[in-house]
Amino acid sequence: MMPDQKNYEDFKSTLLHKKPDSAWPEALKSLWYDAKGDWKASHDIAQELHNDIGSWIHAYLHRKEGDEYNAGYWYRRANQEFPEISLEEEHRKITEFVIGI
């Protein structure tokens, strides 16, 4: 678990900052940029994460932009089902997963 991030509310409180914590893992930085409304910065990080969590974030981002075909590809790469929850709920789910790593 991240020492300064115990839950999603702690993560959300950092959105007042200008940048994510430099000590954070790249996956959490990607989610932070998305929460700040910077899809491109989030995507740039996620596409460089060549693992399941990077694929999951990548899938979520393409779902968010409305590209279900591309999102489906990345969900399969991440070993995740295409979600039936809201984007907000999925963002929280992924973030809580990353914080728990």
pLDDT in tens, 45-84: 999 999 999 999 999 999 999 999 999 999 999 999 999 9
Top-confidence residue, 7 or 53: 53
pLDDT over 70 (residue 99): yes
| Res 13: pLDDT | 92
The pTM (predicted TM-score) of the whole model is 0.92
CB 25 within 8 A of CB 95: no
Top-confidence residue, 4 or 71: 71
Nearest Cα neighbor of 42 from 53, 58, 55, 56 is 58
Alpha-carbon dihedral sign for residues 8, 14, 15, 19 = negative
